[in-house]
Amino acid sequence: MVGRSKKRRKDRKRGTSRAASTAQARTREAARDLYEQVRRGPSHPGAGNVGRAEEYAAAFSHFEEWILLGRPEGFLDVRAVPPEHNMMIDFWPEAFEAYRHALWAYLERHTALHLWSSTVRSLLIRARRSDPVGYDEFIRVLDDAMPRFVEQKRNSVQRHMQAERDPDRARALRASLSAYADTYEIDLPMWFLAVLGRALTTGKLTPEAFGGPSSSTSQAALINSAVEALRGTPLERLLRDAYDAKLRNAIQHNDYELRIGTTEVTVSMLDGSRTWHGDELYNRVTGTQQLVEAVQTVSAYVRLVEEPLLKAEFSQAGLVAVLFSGYQDNLPHAAVHQLWCFHEMDTAGTWLDGCTVTFEVLEDGREKVSFTERGYTIGEPVSHSEQLGDELRRHGWMHVTRIPVAPNFDLGYPVVDLPAAAASYEVVGVPDEHVVKVRL
């Protein structure tokens, strides 16, 4: 019996060893497949989910507005802010500025797939070339007007969030209509576009035109001025479709009836004189929001992304998550996911080669994995130092794969879902391999 027990233990040990070897082989195979996909590039280059990029731009704009207003309490809706934004603000200010710079450029590049953003950007660049002196004054006036713009935008943003989260469809649709009426009244985009439209014919940027961005000019007059100034451009049609005074008045005065069908939503004035439905209604309710976000994203790009800010000393920042995945080359293995803009500062990852990894379980139970003083992640409440302690202590070294990631805009790159991240990421560059020392 004793012999049989020893034999069974040996068999179990061999089985466990074989299972571990199989798991390690699968991990290596999956890693190879991932790297090969990355090297080949996106599976459908040029494609992208514009809606997802616009939602991300809106969330980042909300975070930027909080900073602009001096970070007031009760303003920031943390549920709407992607986790890496909160993470990044904990880094030293220069690194955070580099991140904002890179993200605005990334967002502008991908939201420009949308006609609103691409047309606004083209008009602004054209105006800058024709009147560089007037452009500088225009941007200065725009910067001064941003706090008022943020306060105007605040109500509409809150209503949009309410609509997105309300499980009751009728309530959500009514909140969306109220958000449309609020967004309709935001005047800075109308002034912005009217000034750019006038510059198309005069060759001069005149920021004092139309009463400036904080004038008492009525919104109806500003909309008419913008439409007239942009006559013959793609924005003329977009503005006419989105800014509907009759729909705005009906919503503002609760003078409408909402009908929700199985395939279509209809809004009618109570006197029956006007009805909106289908794409016509959708283009109005979403168009004003898209214009406001396009103006904000494009103007932020030209104001904040004029010169490269990527610096090698920030290359340790932006670590989103560390995932442990068994063994590679007979060493414990971890995949470090880093925001692409910091990965680009040191594509070889030389800062990793001389670092020592430490583990710390925080008071709230989450684990901090540190590679350098500022290069660390704070992850799920799981202590890898306890789970892997014996193996890490026995080897004293760890194999690390550093993987560059960016927000998932469905560009065709491999997608990864990371713990504690509200959104998925795309692997947008070539990973690099390192062997680092471990201290427990």
User: What is the per-residue pLDDT across 94-134, written as a single tens digit (0 to 9) for each?
Assistant: 777 777 777 777 776 665 556 777 788 888 888 999 999 99
- Binning pLDDT at 50, 70 and 90, where does residue 306 land? low
User: What is the per-residue pLDDT across 38-97, written as a single tens digit (0 to 9) for each?
Assistant: 445 444 444 456 667 767 777 777 777 777 777 788 777 777 676 666 666 655 667 777
Confidence at residue 134, expressed as pLDDT on a 0 to 100 scale: 93
Lowest-confidence segment of 23-27, 245-249, 274-278 by average pLDDT: 23-27
3-state secondary structure of 431: coil
User: What is the per-residue pLDDT across 321-370, written as a single tens digit (0 to 9) for each?
Assistant: 888 777 777 788 888 889 888 888 888 888 888 888 888 878 877 778 88
Q: Please give the Cα distance from 209 to 156 (Å, whole number).
A: 26
Domain coordinates of the chain in residue numbers?
Answer: 22-42+317-439, 92-304
Q: Which of 121, 15, 128, 111 is nearest to 58 (CA)?
A: 111
Q: Is the pLDDT of residue 37 over 70?
A: no
Q: Please give the Cα distance from 35 to 341 (Å, whole number).
A: 19
Contact 94, 311 (CB under 8 A): yes
**Count of residues for the chain?**
440
Q: Is the pLDDT of residue 4 over 60?
A: no
Helix spans in 244-403 (H): 245-252, 278-304, 340-343, 350-353, 384-387, 389-395
Lowest-confidence segment of 34-38, 256-260, 297-301, 333-337 by average pLDDT: 34-38
Q: Which residue type occupies 126?
A: R
Give the mean pLDDT of 395-412: 85
Q: Please give the Cα distance from 377 to 227 (Å, whole number).
A: 49
- Binning pLDDT at 50, 70 and 90, where does residue 205 land? very high
Confidence at residue 44, expressed as pLDDT on a 0 to 100 scale: 44
* Host H or E run for residue 315: none
Confidence at residue 27, expressed as pLDDT on a 0 to 100 scale: 46
3-state secondary structure of 73: coil
Strand partners, 403: 337
What is the DSSP-derived secondary structure letter of residue 398? E
| Per-chain mean pLDDT for the chain | 78
Q: Please give the Cα distance from 92 to 313 (Å, whole number).
A: 11
- Binning pLDDT at 50, 70 and 90, where does residue 154 land? confident
